[in-house]
């Protein structure tokens, strides 16, 4: 039997550690107390970045700068054409800096360099689409309210927005939020994950080069406590948009409730691909393998479980096991590598705990099932893992593992497949594989998820909104609906001419009425 495909370390000259600082009111600043933190590469075991460690003073200063910039109107009140021009310039600069940004992202996150390049270069399209929305957004008018009335609905920027991003797609997810907030005319404060701060700092450099006015985008580096909590509770913040775990999303919602600010959340998922016997099984197997191993499985959209019709379950599992052995795990700096390192040793242990628990409960580990050593790089990797014989009550079937672990369940009928798909607290995405359009449409209508893919997996476009149901979040990102999250709606009611009938009569008019009566 073929062993797993492992790419050993490739010789490479490491760049010097990246120095990251806060961006506040158009200036790069160290922390007031001089505190710093380091990020060790999960794949190469060297320090790859040193960043200013922010606290409450830096967060408050950034919020103040954003509030002043919004009130001044140098961004919030300029034309959509002007805002679009800056966003388009940012897109060009992103494409000119792909290699520099992708390298740091790979070293900080452990993801393969080929995927970092795709993430960074692809983000430019999000900025271009947001630029188009900056010019095309509009309200409504109502001229059917009567000859003497006109109603106008305006759409205005919501104000100061806190953007809190995760470590797994730091540049991409920032680009799902930031350009849309800017296109709407908002000012922002960004807090990236402390594990992957550098690509966000690089984004700040591009924004300044593109000519974004000072204070419109501010960046504060540091931990959720106290930076993230300050950005979630401060009374001068009008909205918080967060991507991360469901547990932290609930904390942010609670923290923000004191000021009733708007909260948009993109959280976890336990996403299923459903495979029917009439599907193109070759394409389905390839999509399953991609869906579970992409970004080392550390992806909210990971297809971490498959529901396979019992008539084809054994043969289909054999097919994906064979494909999994061909997936290249190993050095993220090797362009041929498809799966890199796990972000932290603690997370590696958490992944293994789920696998061990399932095996102890009677599930069968068909492939992998343990941490993995890569020659020259160490053991902060996890084997491609496939587990069958999983029942719906097992934690690994219901909870987000966030690693390269695939759970296999079986079904007999479409209603049973739908029931299993919906049998989690999450509702981010799902997929269905069948050549029968009626099967696909019936599944798509019944799946309790924000996205349903049919005969594909994880295809996405800036035009299509992204977000989840149930405990996978609230609100939407990207597309027209994602853009609308950053806008307030205001109704303006106008009377034309002096046609209003007086409600209060004068004293003389009242006496005259009495005499008449």
Strand (E) or helix (H) holding 40:
strand 36-40
> 68 pLDDT exceeds 80?
yes
Residue of 345, 307, 338, 336 lying closest to 433 (CA atoms):
307
Q: What is the pLDDT of residues 379-395, one digit of tens each?
A: 999 999 999 999 999 99
CA distances from 18 to 38, 47, 75, 100, 204 (A): 10, 9, 30, 11, 14
Quick one: average pLDDT of 287-310? 97
Lookup: tokens for 198: 């550098």
SS3 label, residue 506: coil
Alpha helices in 303-413 (DSSP H): 313-326, 345-360, 395-398
Lookup: tokens for 187: 């000012």
| Chain centroid to CA 204 | 19
| Chain centroid to CA 477 | 8
Lookup: tokens for 71: 């009130």
Q: What is the pLDDT of residues 342-362, one digit of tens each?
A: 999 999 999 999 999 999 999
Phi, psi of 144 (to 5 degrees): -110, 20
Give the fold, CATH level 3, of 272-462: Aldehyde Dehydrogenase; Chain A, domain 2 (3.40.309)
- How confident is residue 516, by pLDDT bands cut at 50, 70 and 90? very low
Q: Does the annotation mark 266 as catalytic?
A: yes
Q: What is the pLDDT of residues 191-219, one digit of tens each?
A: 999 999 999 999 999 999 999 999 999 99
What's the pLDDT at 111? Answer: 97
> 509 pLDDT exceeds 80?
no
Residue of 495, 416, 378 lying closest to 41 (CA atoms):
378
Q: Give the residue with greater pLDDT, 205 vs 10.
A: 205
Strand-strand pairing, 239-243 and 262-266: parallel
Q: Residues, the chain, total?
A: 517
> 151 pLDDT exceeds 60?
yes
Q: What is the crossing angle of helices 98-109 and 80-96, to 10°? A: 70
Quick one: average pLDDT of 256-282? 97
SS3 label, residue 42: coil
Strand-strand pairing, 18-20 and 371-374: unpaired
Class of domain 14-267+470-491 (CATH, top level): alpha beta
> 109 pLDDT exceeds 90?
yes
CA angle (13 as vertex; 100, 5 as ends), nearest 5: 90
Which of 119, 194, 266, 477 is flagged as catalytic? 266
> 72 pLDDT exceeds 90?
yes
Mean pLDDT of the chain: 96
> 341 pLDDT exceeds 50?
yes
| Sequence ranges of the domains in the chain | 14-267+470-491, 272-462
pTM of the model: 0.96
CB 17 within 8 A of CB 38: yes
Strand (E) or helix (H) holding 454:
strand 451-454
CB 365 within 8 A of CB 387: yes
């Amino acid at each position: 039997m073929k062993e797993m495909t492992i790419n050993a370390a490739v010789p490479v000259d490491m760049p010097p550690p990246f120095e990251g600082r806060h961006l506040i009111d158009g200036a790069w600043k160290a922390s007031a107390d001089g505190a710093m933190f380091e990020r060790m590469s999960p794949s190469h075991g060297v320090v790859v970045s040193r960043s200013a460690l922010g606290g409450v003073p830096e967060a408050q200063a950034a919020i103040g700068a954003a509030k002043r910039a919004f009130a001044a109107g140098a961004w919030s009140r300029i034309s959509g054409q002007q805002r679009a021009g800056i966003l388009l310039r940012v897109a060009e600069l992103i494409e000119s800096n792909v290699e520099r940004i992708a390298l740091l992202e790979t070293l900080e996150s452990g993801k393969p360099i080929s995927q970092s390049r795709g993430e960074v270069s692809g983000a430019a399209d999000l900025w271009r689409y947001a630029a188009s929305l900056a010019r095309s957004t509009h309200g409504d008018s109502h001229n059917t309210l009567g000859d003497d009335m006109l109603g106008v609905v305006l759409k205005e920027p919501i104000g100061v927005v806190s953007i809190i991003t995760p470590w797994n797609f730091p540049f991409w997810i920032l680009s799902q939020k930031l350009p849309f907030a800017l296109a709407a005319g908002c000012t922002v404060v960004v807090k990236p994950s402390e594990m992957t701060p550098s690509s966000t700092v690089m984004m700040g450099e591009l924004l300044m080069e593109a000519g974004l006015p000072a204070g419109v985008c501010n960046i504060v580096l540091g931990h959720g406590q106290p930076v993230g909590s300050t950005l979630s509770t401060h009374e001068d913040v009008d909205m918080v948009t967060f991507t991360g775990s469901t547990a932290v999303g609930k904390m942010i919602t609670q923290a923000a409730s004191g000021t009733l600010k708007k909260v948009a959340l993109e959280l976890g998922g336990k996403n299923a691909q459903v495979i029917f016997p009439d599907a193109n099984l070759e394409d389905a197997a390839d999509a399953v393998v991609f869906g579970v191993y992409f970004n080392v499985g550390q992806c909210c959209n990971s297809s971490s479980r498959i529901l396979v019709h019992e008539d084809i379950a054994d043969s289909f599992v054999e097919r994906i096991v064979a494909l999994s052995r061909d997936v290249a795990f190993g050095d993220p700096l090797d362009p041929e590598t498809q799966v890199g390192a796990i972000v932290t040793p603690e997370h590696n242990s958490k992944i293994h705990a789920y696998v061990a628990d399932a095996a102890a409960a009677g599930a069968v580990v068909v492939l992998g099932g343990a941490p993995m050593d890569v020659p020259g790089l160490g053991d902060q990797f996890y084997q491609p893992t496939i587990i069958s014989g999983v029942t719906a009550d097992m934690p690994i079937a219901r909870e987000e593992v966030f690693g390269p672990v695939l759970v296999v369940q079986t079904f007999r009928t479409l209603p049973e497949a739908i029931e299993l798909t919906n049998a989690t607290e999450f509702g981010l995405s799902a997929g269905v594989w069948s050549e029968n359009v009626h099967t696909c449409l019936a599944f798509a209508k019944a799946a309790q998820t924000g996205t349903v893919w049919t005969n594909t997996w994880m295809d996405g476009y800036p035009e299509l909104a992204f977000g989840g149901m149930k405990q996978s979040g609230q609100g939407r990102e990207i597309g027209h609906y994602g853009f609308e999250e950053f806008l307030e709606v205001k109704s303006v009611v106008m009377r034309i001419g002096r046609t209003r009938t007086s409600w209060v009569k004068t004293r003389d008019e009242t006496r005259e009425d009495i005499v008449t009566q």
